[in-house]
Amino acid sequence: MSLIYVTSPIHATVLARLADLGEVRLGYGPNAVGYDEIRNQVEAVFLRGGHISAEMIAASPKLRIVARHGAGYDNVDYQAAQAHGVWVTNTPGANQRSVIEHVFALLLSLCRQLPMATEQTRNRNWAQDRLALTGIELEGRTLGLVGFGNIGSSVAPVAEAFGMKVIFTDPAIEPGSDSRWVDFDTLLATADVVSLHVPLLATTRNLIGAPEFAKMKDGAMLINTSRGGVVDEEAMVNALKSGKLAGAGADVLNAENADMITPFDHPTPDIANTPNLIVTAHVAGQTDESLMRVGMSALQAIAAVLNGEAPAHPVNTPVPKSFS
C-alpha cells in the first residue's frame, strides 16, 4: 500500500477519499508525524503548507509525486524533483473564483474603511467621527492588473461590472493584442488600484518596490493576492505611512511562516501597526467550495501517478522512477 503524506489540513471529504489510495499520514494535528519519520516509505506528498526541499526529495527514495494544493509551487524544489524522477503538480484555476472575490473583499474594505468603522463601532463611537469614515466609490476608477493569466483576466470583468476601467500588463501577451494592454510604467502611473497576479520567480521578486511606488499615482491602492515576495514590504509600509499609497490589502507576506504564527515579527514589524494596511493570513483561496475543488484536483494527480499515469497539471517533466 502506498504511503501518502499530507502536510497541512485539507478538506475533510478530500482527506477521506485520499485514504482510498493508500495509507495516509498527517504532518499536522495532535498525532502529527514528522517528514523524517516517513521519508524512506513515502510515495506521494500532498503539499499545502510547509516546504519540500531538495534535501528532503533526495532523502526519499520511493517518492513519486509532490502534489501542490494550489497554483503556486515556490514551496517545493521542482528542479530537484525533476532530477530525482519526481512529479510536481499544481492545481491551476481551481481556487480562481475564491481569489477573485477576495481581491474585491480587500479592495472594498479599503475603499469603505471597514476595519476602522468596525473598530469605532465596537468602541461605542457610533456617530462621533463619521466624516473620518468617508469612503470612495469604484465606479470611474482605473484598475491596473499586473499579470493577466487565469485569475488576473477573470478579475477584469468583475471590475468592469463595478464601472471600473481596466488596464493590464503581462510580458506573455503581445502589445496591441488587447486594447487594455499597457507597459508596466504606464500602468503604475495610470492606475488608481494596482492588483498583482504573478507567480514568485526570480524576475518578479520585489517587482513592486520603492521605485515603483514612486511612479504610482498619489493616493493609489495596492492589492496583493499573489505571493508576498513580489512586494518589498518595507517600501510598501513607507509608502503607506507617507500617504503616497492611500491603502493596501495583502493576503500574502514575504515574512509569513509555514505555520502562520509569527509573520509580523520579521523583517517588517510595522506591518502590524499600519492602519491603512489590511492583512489576511493567505486565505484568499480558502472557501469551502475552493478547498474541495483544489483538494480533488491534487488528489487526482496523486491517483494518476500512483497508477503509473502522467498527471493532468505537471509543473515539471521528470523521467518517472521505475520500481521493480
Query: What ranges in 199-261 are assigned the alpha helix state H?
Result: 210-215, 233-242
Identify whether 139 is a catalytic site residue.
Answer: no
Report pLDDT digits (tens) over 292-305: 999 999 999 999 99
Is residue 314 over pLDDT 90? Answer: yes
Instruction: Report the predicted TM-score, pTM, of the whole model to 2 decimal places.
Output: 0.84
Q: Look at residue 270 in the predicted model and tell me its pLDDT.
A: 75
Q: What are the DSSP E strand ranges found in the chain? A: 3-6, 23-26, 42-47, 65-68, 87-89, 142-146, 165-169, 193-196, 220-224, 245-250, 277-279
What is the average per-residue pLDDT within 38-55?
Answer: 95
Identify whether 256 is a catalytic site residue.
Answer: yes
**Which amino acid, one-letter code, is at 95?**
N
* 3-state DSSP of 156-210: HHHHHHCCCEEEEECCCCCCCCCCCECCHHHHHHHCCEEEECCCCCCCCCCCECH
- Count of Cβ atoms closer than 10 Å to residue 289 Cβ: 12
Is residue 324 over pLDDT 60? Answer: no
Q: Which of 197, 227, 293, 313 is catalytic?
A: 227
Q: Which residues contact 171 (CB under 8 A, 6 or more apart)?
A: none
What is the average per-residue pLDDT within 250-277?
Answer: 68
Domains delineated in the chain: 3-93+288-306 (3.40.50.720), 96-279 (3.40.50.720)
Rg over alpha carbons for the chain, rounded to the nearest Å, is 21
Is residue 162 over pLDDT 80? Answer: yes
Q: Which residues contact 111 (CB under 8 A, 6 or more apart)?
A: 135, 136, 137, 138, 221, 247
Q: Look at residue 258 in the predicted model and tell me its pLDDT.
A: 39
Report pLDDT digits (tens) over 210-257: 999 999 999 999 999 999 899 999 999 999 999 999 999 999 988 765
Cell 492611500 belongs to 246
Q: CA–CA separation, 223 vs 106, rounded Å?
A: 7
Return the SS3 of 111: helix
What is the average per-residue pLDDT within 167-190?
Answer: 96
CA angle 114, 118, 122 (to 5 degrees): 175
Reported confidence tier of residue 15, pLDDT bands at 50, 70, 90: very high
Contact (Cβ atoms closer than 8 angstroms) between residue 298 and residue 89: yes
Q: Look at residue 132 in the predicted model and tell me its pLDDT.
A: 79
Q: Which residues contact 125 (CB under 8 A, 6 or more apart)?
A: none
Q: Which of 11, 64, 69, 282 is catalytic?
A: 282
What is the average per-residue pLDDT within 135-158?
Answer: 96
Report pLDDT digits (tens) over 65-111: 999 999 888 899 999 999 999 999 999 989 999 999 999 999 999 99
First and final CA of the chain: distance in angstroms? 15
Reported confidence tier of residue 129, pLDDT bands at 50, 70, 90: confident
Reported confidence tier of residue 261, pLDDT bands at 50, 70, 90: very low
Which long-range contacts link 308-312 to residues 24+ away (Cβ below 8 Å)?
A: 310/87, 311/65, 311/67, 311/87, 311/89, 312/89
What is the average per-residue pLDDT within 182-207?
Answer: 96
Q: Which of 11, 69, 256, 293 is catalytic?
A: 256
Contact (Cβ atoms closer than 8 angstroms) between residue 321 and residue 81: no
Q: Which residues contact 30 (CB under 8 A, 6 or more apart)?
A: none
Q: CA–CA separation, 293 vs 91, rounded Å?
A: 9
Q: Look at residue 268 in the predicted model and tell me its pLDDT.
A: 59
Identify whether 227 is a catalytic site residue.
Answer: yes
Beta bridge partners of 35: none
In this predicted structure, which of 47-61, 109-123, 156-170, 204-218 has the lowest mean pLDDT? 109-123
